[in-house]
A and B are shown apart, each in its own frame.
Chain A
């Protein structure tokens, strides 16, 4: 077993710092990995035309036609954070693209004290099904900050989109603050509401039911509500650091630095060190498969340095891996998108053996790179992996081990899965598809009102 964990080593005064200290745990033949110790400067977001080479000119033209009507209607997006987290990342890409299509889109972020975010964090976990006792004090904190933000913000746009539960009460009370503006209000729920804590859901529901439409990331996440509910799959940006095409020389360099032998098959799982991602199960499946096929396992993740539970899981993974030299464990900082991209591209097979999952964007990333993918049949993964057509779904360690063996010994079938998987992502899970969905929703809701 090899453990690679970037360590602090200041090499530059300004800008990102590189880490390059040799690790005592590394075997001698390995070089020290060099990863950014601090986040690199953000890259300028791509323009709409940059996507033409990926999805085709006709698709981009369709977005332009869709954006034309209803003319001049504006959009506001509201969420709880400007940086960090999937929603902010998505809005950072989506808002400029809508702007390029002449759909004026404002993005506002709610503010709140620590007490507010403690309450909303608890709400978030409770809506995912955790036990939680909703107190009067928590309700008051939630409502007070929502009211404060509602007073501060303007709602002059034609379509107001509220992301997640934190700002859900911006719509106002039942007595009708929403109607202060003629806008159509949309609640975009990014979390799994299939089994919510009844107290918290009961508290939020009266607010949610005032919206004109709701959006969920999976059919199974939706609730029985009185307004139309739409399905917007999460998406990836094919031009982001994590997904853009890479020079083969860079992929090789990353593999060399991480000690990966590309002359032999590479099986990879990219995910946080979290029990719900079952990294120990992946190690077990790898060990079963390797009785029959030669391969290496790469477990690339993060979360062990800033999360006590992550550190515990990493320890369990290391114990399960033992001293196996073909199991490479990489605890990477969150800004190593290019390295993750390279690892996925260098893989023969990608695994995502989750036990519970939201949508599983690491699966989307692997499929986009044309990789034959094996994944647990949970959460949003079956929306992406159609068994035996765009990938392989598994339910157990043994099933995962068998599929690794099968795909490594049937490379033509594996390659076809990879090709299908990439097309599936191109059709359904790219950011351009989501731009299309937002334009469609704007058109349907606002033209309906005009009618």
Chain B
């Protein structure tokens, strides 16, 4: 005989899910790099807001690209420095493995340091274009969508902007300080759909557009509703 403890129950959420979103204003900072050595210096010294802009935020700005774009540092290493090996390593940094911008910064610093240690001649070679460090000023906003039921949740997922999807699914880990996202947290903690929560958290943001990610989340939620 199975018990309710063994079977996840689809129930009325304990708490509603409030769909929010965030808007970003791009600020130009004083830091820039014309060589990999300058990039390394700036990576060490730039504000966390800049690390956020060139990783998390740039993913949102380029959410429609399915492949070939990961973060601004990797793009610059390839397009302006013609360093495919370094670019691959930088592109391989998955922002979702980090819950703090400090750790994320350290990962980029390590990769560039290692590359320059192995290839000291690359340090002072002039890039074809300057890398300008920017930063994001963020304003959090509500939306018109509040999910009291799973049906509301599915509807909200379908109708909110991609900015809201990014806010809850990608940026959330910086707020939560967890290797998770707002959708999975809510599905697990407030609805009891642990498997669906895990499935949502496993979606690969680097091989799908943000609209594609939205579609995958909706499908997981709809399957849970069946």
A interface residues, Cβ below 8 angstroms from B: 56-59, 61-62, 65-66, 216, 219-220, 222, 224, 228-231, 377, 382, 386-389, 420, 423-424, 427-428, 436-437, 440-441, 443-444
Chain A residues near B25 (CB, 8 Å)?
A: 230, 437, 440-441, 444
The answer to whether residues A57 and B159 also contact, given A222-B28, A231-B134, A389-B69 and a CB cut-off of 8 A, is yes
A303 to chain B, nearest CB (A): 29
- B14-36: which have CB < 8 Å to A? 21, 23-28, 30, 32
How many angstroms from the CA of A389 to the CA of B141 in the assembled complex? 31
Pair B139/A58 contact, Cβ less than 8 Å:
no
Q: Which residues on B sit within 8 Å (CB–CB) of A224?
A: 30
C-alpha gap A204/B7 in the complex (Å) = 71
Q: Is B144 part of the binding interface, using a Cβ–Cβ cutoff of 8 Å?
A: yes
Q: How far is the CA of A228 from the CA of B61 in the complex (A)?
A: 21
CB distance from B164 to the nearest CB of A (A): 7
Across the interface, do A388 and B68 meet the contact criterion of CB distance under 8 Å?
Answer: yes
Residues of B within 8 A of A61 (CB): 143-144
Hey, which bits of chain B sit against chain A, CB under 8 A? 21, 23-28, 30, 32, 61-65, 68-69, 75, 79, 129-130, 132, 134, 137, 139, 141-144, 159-161, 163-164
A49 CA to B159 CA in the complex, in Å? 17
Q: Answer whether A65 and B142 are a contact pair too, CB < 8 Å, given A387-B79, A389-B68, A427-B61.
A: yes
Are B143 and A440 in contact, with the CB atoms below 8 A? no
Chain A: CB-nearest residue to B141: A65
19 A-B pairs (CB sep. < 8 Å): A56-B161, A57-B159, A58-B143, A62-B143, A66-B23, A219-B28, A219-B132, A220-B132, A224-B30, A230-B27, A387-B79, A420-B64, A423-B64, A427-B62, A436-B23, A437-B25, A441-B25, A443-B139, A444-B137
Nearest CB on B from A182, distance (A): 22
CB pair A386 B69 closer than 8 Å: yes
Q: Which among A57, A382, A437 is the interface contact of B129 at CB below 8 angstroms?
A: A382
Q: Which B residue's beta carbon lies closest to that of A388?
A: B68
B139 with A428: CB separation less than 8 A: no
A382 neighbours in B (Cβ, 8 Å): 129
CA distance A228 to B134 in the complex (A): 11
Nearest chain-B residue to A393 (Cβ)?
B79
**Which chain B positions have C-beta within 8 A of A228?**
27
Closest to A60 in B: B161
Which residues of the partner chain A approach B24 to less than 8 Å between Cβ atoms? 440
Q: How far is the CA of A423 from the CA of B24 in the complex (A)?
A: 18
Contact B143 A427 (CB under 8 A): no
A56-B161, A58-B143, A444-B137 known; A389+B27 contact, CB < 8 A: no
A424 touches B62 (CB 8 A): yes
CB-CB under 8 A from A230, the residues of chain B are 25-28
B residues in contact with A57, CB < 8 Å? 159
Q: Is the CB of B141 within 8 A of A62?
A: yes
- Residue among B23, B30, B75 with the most chain A CB within 10 A? B23
Q: Which residue of A lies closest to B25 (CB)?
A: A440
